[in-house]
Amino acid sequence: MRLLINARRYLAATKNSIAVSQRVAIVGYFGLTGLNINVLADGLGLEEIQVYGRKINLIGDAVSASQGRVSQEELQQRPLLRTGEVLETVPGLVATQHSGSGKANQYFLRGFNLDHGTDFATFVDAMPVNMRSHGHGQGYTDLNFIIPELIGELEYKKGSYYADVGDFGATGAAHIYTAHHLEQQRIEVGLGEDGFQRFLATGDIDMGQGDFIYGVEAQRYDGPWTGLNEDVNKTNVWLKQQWQGENFYHSLQLMMYKNRWNSADQIPQRAVDQGIIDELGSIDNSLGGESSRYSLSFQSRYQTQYGFLKANLYIIDYNMNLWSNFSYFTDPDGDQFKQIDDRTIYGWDLSFSVNSTLAGIPQTNTFGSQLRYDDIDKVGLQRSANREVNEPIRIDSVKQYSASLYWENTLVWSESFRTVIGVRYDDFSFQVDPLAAATQDSLQVNGGKQTDHISTAKFSAIYQPNDTVEIYASAGQGFHSNDARGTTTTQDPNSGELIQPADPIVKTFGYEVGLRSFLTEKLNASIALWHLSIDSELLFIGDEGSTEDTGVGSKRRGLELTSYYQLNDQLSIDFEAAFTDAKLNKSINGSDKIPGAQKQVFSAGINYRINERWYTHLRVRKFGDYPLDDNQSADGSTMVNVRSAYQFSPQLSVKIDVLNLFNSDDHDVEYFYESQLPGESAPVADRHYHVFEPRTLRVYLTYNY
């Protein structure tokens, strides 16, 4: 009988009926990360099982208390305003937006303003999403190419304790796995306020030895903004062919994404107070962007007599043009600028897991290799007005290469105690070739080559006193790479001043202790106390719309709580809370506060399944006040969304989303910096913010066949 599960689901379902050595063998074959693969279980004599999301028992498998998995069922229950909000299923992570819908979200986690993803690594079927040396920001994580309905599972692991995660993984990582099976073919049409339209078609076609899965999404949206039509025009196409047998699984997947949009960026408080604009208005109505992403990837899982082999190969073609203006008119001709990025990415992610014993102790050794090459034809910054380019500030061609090796060892000392040790080596090479600059001097000095490498170690000790509780102690080193242009630059492209090149790699170190409890399938909870230090903090620079490496380190510590409770067959509740204290190691301008370091994040959901046909999910997300500079702070915000779905028949159903249920005018994100409005004689330090989109109604009609 075909078993549509991954290794962890099998372990979770059978952990009480198989020996520790057998469980280690299975983990070794399938790896220590979730893998959505089709496995033929005839030889195991197992029945097909279904376990959903947070109900999965990770005791016996997780490396830390900060790991978790989110199922397609849970993702389907959540109402989403923007695709990037799928990452808010990671406890404590906040996905905001300060610009148009087509731009990558801004993320916050564990006291980090992650900008667009600098210290949180995201992968889709082993393909990296974070962009190195990106035109807008290091680690840029744009998830608009995702079709949420085709996510099979999302696995998150916070902290830097995992040998298979390297660059950008300081605060953690999310692995998004595309669906390997769909129950039915689907056509869905969505309509909503402010010109929202969405068409979706997905399906799974049986091809004999494998399935062909497809998805087509088209979305249009005008937005609620005053004097601006957002004019979002997004298209996604996913095509995936799978082959499987008794000891192998292969897939070939094509993803195609294209988008264009206009942007309502953050606005200054004084412009609203003076009646120049309202909270939904804009200072510069000509902002926006266009982006595309095309990828081809191949996945292979092969069980041999010696161990389990995983191979992932990919090629990504990416392009972006983005027009922004954060300071408005400090230059009489305006401060609008255009950021460009045109690249191709090649890479692989390979691993081999083998089981053996060490002095009679069962163990699994995993050996991995990762390679990534970013061939960036053009990346840069240009001055513009009304989207017309005036002059280049800096445009470069970049060749950035990294090669990584890692080893992870799991030793099961007894039925109640095991250890996980990992070491990792990453080698980087940067080559920057200037193409254009504001001055000839800048063109001559801002290129060159740079290399660097880093070795990191990770360790976890896991104690399981009984079948319902597991205790963790973890420590690990992490890092993020800096923009290649910063590692070779010797002159500021704006001021012309000589500067010290940035270190190619910024190191981090973290540790935590935690506890996970799985009392029954009705209650799943965890608690983690963590600490994280980083060698150099990044701070937001308003007039450039980017971040700056300060050279000053920082420390963060915090407490995280999660609880998922199934009261009965109809009602379930989940609650997540994160508390963080963040400080610079050395004061900047007389303050050790870190701008954007959120202190408290709360999230809760109530899912009420009235009957087999009807359910309602209400979701609350709240984060508290956070510092903007040494004496300014931003007020917290609260967002409430609700989804209600009714199934008329096996073929026909409807979903109704009410986003921002209480029509809150809280701020999605806020900054404090200098800008200049028309008529002002000099820049003024002010709050700049992006307000929540007003309450909006969206209706989706779905036909399954």
- The rounded distance, in Å, linking the Cα atoms of 152 and 176 is 8
Residue 495 confidence (pLDDT): 63
Mean pLDDT across 413-420: 97
Tell me phi and psi for residue 482, to 5 degrees: -90, 165
Instruction: Write out the H or E segment, with its range, that includes residue 521.
Output: none
pLDDT greater than 50 at residue 303? yes
- The rounded distance, in Å, linking the Cα atoms of 422 and 409 is 6
Mean pLDDT across 20-33: 36
Residue 439 confidence (pLDDT): 74
Q: What is the pLDDT of residues 237-254, one digit of tens each?
A: 999 999 998 899 999 999
Using DSSP's 3-state secondary structure scheme, residue 50 falls into coil
- Provide the token pair at 154: 């999302």
Q: Who has greater pLDDT, 651 or 30?
A: 651
Least confident of 41-55, 176-190, 495-509, 604-618: 41-55
Residue 52 confidence (pLDDT): 43
> Sorting pLDDT into bands at 50, 70 and 90, what band is 545?
very low
Identity of the residue numbered 87: L
CB atoms within 10 A of CB 147: 19
Give yes or no for a contact between 106 and 95, defined as CB atoms under 8 angstroms apart: yes
- The rounded distance, in Å, linking the Cα atoms of 486 and 695 is 42
Q: What is the pLDDT of residues 157-205, one digit of tens each?
A: 999 999 999 999 999 999 999 999 998 899 999 999 999 999 999 999 9
User: Can you tell me which residue has the tokens 């399944």?
Assistant: 609
Rg of the chain over all Cα atoms, to the nearest angstrom: 25
**For the chain, how far is it from start to end, CA to CA, in angstroms?**
25
Residue 590 confidence (pLDDT): 76
Give yes or no for a contact between 178 and 682, defined as CB atoms under 8 angstroms apart: no
- CB neighbour list of residue 274: distance below 8 Å, 6 or more residues apart: none
CA angle 504, 506, 512 (to 5 degrees): 155
> Sorting pLDDT into bands at 50, 70 and 90, what band is 5?
very low
Residue 55 confidence (pLDDT): 62
Q: Sort residue 613 into left (φ over 0), alpha (ψ -120 to 50) or beta.
A: alpha
Mean pLDDT across 406-422: 97
Least confident of 6-10, 305-309, 632-636: 6-10
Mean pLDDT across 627-631: 85
In 255-315, which residue ranges form alpha helices assigned H by DSSP? 269-273
C-alpha 275 chain-centroid distance: 37
CA angle 103, 95, 506 (to 5 degrees): 85
- CB neighbour list of residue 273: distance below 8 Å, 6 or more residues apart: none
pLDDT greater than 90 at residue 413? yes
pLDDT greater than 90 at residue 32? no
Residue 182 confidence (pLDDT): 93
- The rounded distance, in Å, linking the Cα atoms of 527 and 514 is 5
- The rounded distance, in Å, linking the Cα atoms of 698 and 81 is 10
> Sorting pLDDT into bands at 50, 70 and 90, what band is 520?
confident
Residue 9 confidence (pLDDT): 32
Residue 40 confidence (pLDDT): 30
- Provide the token pair at 369: 């290799």
* 11-20, 389-398, 436-445, 508-517 — most confident range: 508-517
| Closest among 449, 684, 402 to 543, alpha carbons compared | 684
Count, residues in the chain: 705
Residue 490 confidence (pLDDT): 66
- The rounded distance, in Å, linking the Cα atoms of 378 and 219 is 29
Q: What is the greatest pairwise CA distance in the chain?
A: 79
Q: What is the pLDDT of residues 97-156, one digit of tens each?
A: 988 889 999 999 999 988 889 999 999 999 999 999 999 999 999 999 999 999 999 999
Identity of the residue numbered 421: I
HSE, side-chain direction, 13 A CA sphere, residue 592: 10
- The rounded distance, in Å, linking the Cα atoms of 660 and 97 is 14
Q: What is the pTM of this model?
A: 0.90
pLDDT greater than 90 at residue 396? yes
- The rounded distance, in Å, linking the Cα atoms of 576 and 559 is 11
Crossing angle of helices 20-30 and 7-14, in 10° steps, is 170
Q: What is the mean pLDDT of the chain?
A: 88
Q: What is the pLDDT of residues 686-705, one digit of tens each?
A: 999 999 999 999 999 999 99
pLDDT greater than 70 at residue 275? yes
Q: Who has greater pLDDT, 493 or 241?
A: 241
Burial bucket for residue 25 (CB in 10 Å: 0-12, 13-18, 19+) = buried
| Closest among 685, 130, 89, 107 to 400, alpha carbons compared | 130
Identity of the residue numbered 255: M
> Sorting pLDDT into bands at 50, 70 and 90, what band is 441?
low
Identity of the residue numbered 111: G
> Sorting pLDDT into bands at 50, 70 and 90, what band is 549?
low
Give the CA-trace dihedral at 27, 31, 33, 39, to 10 degrees.
-80
- The rounded distance, in Å, linking the Cα atoms of 659 and 439 is 48
Strands of 127-128's sheet, edge to edge? 67-71, 151-158, 172-178, 121-124, 127-128
Give yes or no for a contact between 120 and 142, defined as CB atoms under 8 angstroms apart: no
Percent of the chain with pLDDT over 70: 88
- The rounded distance, in Å, linking the Cα atoms of 407 and 470 is 24
CB atoms within 10 A of CB 397: 18
* 359-373, 541-555, 592-606 — most confident range: 359-373
Domains of the chain and any CATH numbers: 2-704 (2.40.170.20)
Burial bucket for residue 495 (CB in 10 Å: 0-12, 13-18, 19+) = exposed
| Closest among 281, 283, 236, 278 to 102, alpha carbons compared | 236
Residue 631 confidence (pLDDT): 83
